[in-house]
Structure 1
């Protein structure tokens, strides 16, 4: 077996403040605590030798493994099939409160469901990205790891009749290993807890089962709020749960992905830290979740966004940074873990994100579109929010007409990106609508002037008569899949000849058997070496665009094809490589929210097609 599992060979668990990845061989190879963006405790996914792991696997080789989620929950079950029996590893994290906490529990229950099975368990933490050495103290009830001010407590799950459950034995490097023999019907396991310092305390099987039941009830109750009843209900619910897992409950901030350093090209340098809240990604999630009926999450992010807009201008990039830490802190200094080899040799491994200081004008349109969608759903912004919006639009009116880094965060310098201008148009358009809807005081005349100026500029400079298409940047001929949003935001109609020509050009150049590239890096240098796969967000944007253009049969086939690229649990990373493997950070919020939007749009268009095709009722004679 490869030292590094495939990126797609993982499931995600979490407690709404942090998450962990569990591979199909029963290894937790990514876990940060107490928050998504905290230093890692387990990170063998980025360095097999130095990253640390929690491993549970059958003692005998030759086993098969399968994974599934307990229905409508974030509880992950990894099943092992051996010659002697069948066992299960059940991983979950009891949901935290909406108060930031240092204490988080990761529960791993191990069960034999048929025959008998022997498991080998290894607990090998590596604190602060492996930079902080640790000590371990072992007791009959478990163990405690300490590394500076950090603690990790290991408590055993055992039956009251157990005198001693395979007391863990420390290795020379401070790790723990022990064997677990189970027969049919037995369940044992471990609980890892961060930030307590209380020492290990054995937990009964009955208490572990109650934690399981409580966690299952939480997720099933939450999923039960969904109002979606259309096609692909299971896929949409899994995407919604995944987005919920990536939302930091104390603030409502959504991380772009719960991982760092997973490569867009294996062996390449396009390896970024996505454990932060992008204004763009989180704004898109508002619309997606609202369309499924999840209003609480939309309202929470709206408050998070309002607080960011209301903050004093801290840089020359405008009232909003493109990304923040989940608590709103703008400090995202990027550093390289120089001693780590990276996933399958994909170096460098970066933590923090140097793109945080970029100017990306599109975020103002995405933020305002989210505010508009929330308002339409009855989530008001109030007077303080409106004042903040007016300040934001005043700044944008003075600054929209300038080069910027663009949606894809290229590192090749600022340019006049058409998508950035498009979303500035959206910002003014939605603000004008909000002002008119409630008679709010606003410089509507100026906003209208700027909106119309942007429209005319895009039509003049963003359209290439040579390519017969809207292009990535003014004065160039490069196509860009981000412009698939043009009809979604209402800038052009799906039947506009300029749009149908653009869609045709994108299909000819950027679509590969339904999968869609963002752009051609060879034609538009982005300041980075190497190439990348197709961008899964763009594929779902393509589905949405096809559906809106009444090409519903093509849209459905494209959507169904894309579903085959999901992993065994319905999860998606950022990109799909040439060989069909998932690459990039995993799972990615962008992809899952775009799946939801595309599926709902397509479902509505399919229903409309069915209604049109139905024979009209005849009159009674």
Structure 2
């Protein structure tokens, strides 16, 4: 079997887990009971061993897929010489009254319907528990097949008239053919953990309720979001839906992506497990949730990282499991028996970034707290919360001048990274703002002194006259890094500063393609030049151009970025600028956060139709993504 390109996949899910489904009707990735649990289908990581659950015509066919409007329900349409059939895939959401609580959500429903003519649909069911380390035993049941192994169970069932079509063809595989004529439909479903509750529910009702849930969520905005130009609106809504699908209902945490080990480049060993929450995502997440009007989710996410902040700052780690696991609990392991996507291994589970020192996380936390209060005046800082924030700022005062692993998590390398120093400055600056604006007790003189010291260090050691740009770390004159685009966005320097404009020009010349795709860095002494463009960095460039009043180019680049989404509106982490091939874990939350934030920036800067800049445009009138106080005392 050939590996489908990432652009051929759609994602369904609920707030517990997700499943990747190819345009050929195959579920090639799914983990139960949670997103970060071990897989039951993993063909995306090994075409032969990984396991899958496929439904497709027995005859030659053409196929395409789409999401039902304003939902995460996927429709795949198959066209054959004799007819047309549609497979509707979704995972149910527990919305208050369903039986068995969380187990209700540990299911996938597939509705097979013949639209015209006659179509024979083949079913292939090859579950492989625990990342295909366990081959389950399969047994026939009255309504389908039960897979069991190593304490796990997965039940496949169909409507009664079609159940006999399923046969156990080998000890680990079941298959069958279902013939449908125009107007006929058949339900198939899998339930993790046994037969119930999926076998006892009304599937038509569950489908209708799932549609209603997603559509009501999109429409349930707490406050009016910024008006997005119509031609961008659909992509923003799809990004909202993707983020909601990833948000874990128990904790409010958001994983970086739905998958593990999709390589950053075919043939590269840069394959990581992204099914965890990175603290640095907090500031982008808070911004995008508020800008799309989803204040409840923003509050829940705020509460999640606020709990993390109320610990010893030295014990705060860059990455956490969706249930709060950290450090050694996220031990990284390699699955030697899987070949990897397109035979590009290693396949990794867990993530070794947990124990790294990354100083940027402290600025992220303080910024996200400040941001939340700016967005939601009803949010107040308790004495306990302020004590935790004050401890974090004090920690930054003591440690800002240390080396760390940086935002790109270079393994076995510690440098004075510009981005890390910038976020240390953010921690001090927003900490001061919180104290002053909320009349909170703090050692302001000491904090201001350290803030000034960080600023001086960045300005004297972080800018290279040779490169004409802010650089990646303090010991280089040539390494250009896209994180320097964040300097005006964090309001460290104003957009019109000559060094900021020179940095943007250098990024355009050295990191960006002619149509605005941006690689993360070049000329670094740490790792060879990047060749694949990073979507989030490309959106950062749009934001920096908006603040620089280069609106025509910003809009041009943004609309080009929209063209790189798959037809379903989803993004991976990276793209090959030469071929358009998507790479990296998929779908990637960071990319969709960047899209929402850039759409918001452009909308603030342009007139409502998105075509021209207002005659009185001034970058100072465009609220930066990461707001800071403007009190003269700060």
TM-score of the superposition, structure 2-length normalised? 0.91
1:82 is displaced (CA, Å) by 1.2
Counterpart residue number, 1:66: 64
Counterparts in 2 of 1:22 and 1:228: CA distance versus 1, 3 Å: farther
Q: Deviations over 1:288-345 (max 9, x none)?
A: 11111111111111111111112346xxxx2420001001111110111101111111
- Superposition pairs of residues 587-598 of structure 1, within 5 angstroms: 587-598=587-598
CA distance in 2: counterparts of 1:523 and 1:427, whole angstroms: 27
CA separation of 1:348/1:497 partners in 2, compared to 1, >3 Å: closer, same or farther? same
Q: Distance in 2 between matches of 1:486 and 1:172?
A: 60
> Hey, what's the Cα distance between the residues in 2 that align with 1:100 and 1:583?
36
Q: Does the 8 A contact of 1:143 with 1:199 survive in 2?
A: no
**Does residue 1:417 correspond to 2:417, yes or no?**
yes
The answer to whether 1:109 aligns with 2:125 is no
- Contact 1:155–1:200, Cα closer than 8 Å, also in 2: no
TM-aligned CA distance change 1:282 to 1:173, over 3 Å = farther
Q: 2:430 aligned with 1:434, yes or no? A: no
* Cross-structure match for 1:33: 32
Distance in 2 separating the partners of 1:585 and 1:464: 34
Per the alignment, do residues 433 and 492 of structure 1 end up closer, same or farther by CA in structure 2, a change over 3 Å counting? same
SS at match of 1:515: coil
Query: Would you say 1:562 and 2:557 are equivalent positions?
Result: no
Q: What SS is found at the alignment partner of 2:270?
A: coil
Q: Does the C-alpha gap of structure 1 residues 200 and 542 become closer, same or farther in structure 2, counting only changes over 3 Å?
A: closer
1:577-596 to structure 2, matched below 5 A, reads: 577=576, 578-596=578-596
**Aligned position for 1:533:** 532
In the TM superposition, 1:8-47 aligns within 5 A as 8-47=7-46
C-alpha distance in structure 2 between counterparts of 1:322 and 1:212, whole Å? 38
Give yes or no for the alignment of 1:216 onto 2:211.
yes
Structure 2 residue corresponding to 1:361, chosen from 339, 359, 362: 359
The partner residue of 2:322 within 326, 336, 349 is 326
- Residue 47 of structure 2 corresponds to residue 52 of structure 1: no
Q: 1:225 maps to what in 2?
A: 220
Partner of 2:499: 498
Mapped to 2, the partners of 1:284 and 1:510 lie a distance apart of 22
Instruction: Quote the offset at 1:7 in angstroms.
Output: 1.4
**What's the CA shift string for 1:396-415, capped at 9, x where partnerless?**
11111111110011124100
> 2:77, 2:85 within 8 Å by CA — same for their partners in 1?
yes
Retained in 1: the 8 A contact 2:144–2:164?
no
Distance 1:229 1:48 in 2: 44
Structure 1 distance, partners of 2:382, 2:183, is 56
Residue 612 (structure 1) aligned with residue 608 (structure 2) = no
1:380 and 1:613 mapped to 2: Cα distance?
36
2:520 touches 2:530 (CA, 8 Å); kept in 1? no
The answer (yes or no) to whether the contact 1:30–1:42 under 8 Å persists in 2 is yes
Q: Over residues 546-602 of structure 1, what are the superposed CA-to-partner deviations in whole Å (9 max), with x where a residue is unaligned? A: 111111100010011111111011100000013111000001011100111011101
Q: CA deviation at 1:445?
A: 1.9
Return the offset for 1:524: 3.0
Is the 8 Å Cα contact of residues 11 and 18 (structure 2) preserved in structure 1?
yes
Pairwise CA distance, 1:605 = 0.8
2:107 and 2:198 in contact (8 A); partners too? no
> Which consecutive residues of structure 2, in runs of 5 or more, have no partner in the other structure?
618-634
Secondary structure of the 1:54 match is strand
Secondary structure of the structure 2 residue equivalent to 1:368: helix
Mapped partners of 2:163, 2:217: distance in 1: 36
Task: Find the partner of 2:199 among 194, 198, 201.
Answer: 201
After superposition, give the CA deviation of every residue in 1:341-383 in whole Å (9 maximum; x if it has no partner).
1111101111111121111111111222211111112233433
Please, which runs of 5 or more residues in structure 1 have no aligned partner?
615-621
CA distance in 1: counterparts of 2:409 and 2:444, whole angstroms: 31
Q: Distance in 1 between matches of 2:537 and 2:446?
A: 34
1:328-477 superposed matches below 5 A: 328-330=324-326, 331-378=329-376, 379-476=379-476, 477=478
What's the TM-score once normalised by structure 1's chain length? 0.93
- 8 Å Cα contact 1:100-1:250 kept in structure 2: no
Aligned to 1:618: none
- Displacement after TM superposition at 1:221 (Å): 0.6
Q: Deviations over 1:219-240 (max 9, x none)?
A: 0011002424211111111001
Deviation of the 1:197 alpha carbon: 5.5
Partner of 1:176: 174
Question: Paired residue for 1:188?
Answer: 186
Distance 2:537 2:299 in 1: 26
Q: Deviation digits for residues 520-566 of structure 1, max 9, x if unmatched?
A: 2x53323xx89551101000000111111111100010011111111
Does the CA-based 8 Å contact 2:135-2:172 persist in structure 1? no
Tell whether 2:147 aligns with 1:145: yes
Further displaced range: 572-581 or 227-236: 227-236
- 490-499 or 377-386, which deviates more: 377-386
Q: How far apart are the structure 1 equivalents of 2:494 and 2:616?
A: 23
- Partner residue, 2:91: 93
Task: Note the alpha carbon deviations across 1:230-256, whole angstroms, 9 max, x for none.
Answer: 111111110011111111111001000
CA distance in 1, matches of 2:163, 2:12: 26
Partner in structure 1 of residue 627 of structure 2: none
C-alpha distance after superposition, 1:42-67 (max 9, x if no partner) = 00000011100010000102x11111
Moved more, 276-285 or 232-241: 276-285
1:123 maps to 2:125: yes
Q: CA deviation at 1:384?
A: 2.1
In 2, distance between residues paired with 1:321 and 1:199?
38
RMSD between aligned residues: 1.9
Deviation at 1:283, TM superposition (A): 3.2
**Residue pair 2:309, 2:365 contacting (<8 A) in 1 also:** no
Residue 487 (str. 1) matches residue 483 (str. 2):
no
Bigger mean CA offset, 331-340 vs 276-285:
276-285
1:602 and 2:599 correspond:
no
Q: Distance in 1 between matches of 2:462 and 2:12?
A: 43
Deviation of 1:155 after TM superposition, in Å, equals 2.4
* Post-superposition offset of 1:121: 0.6
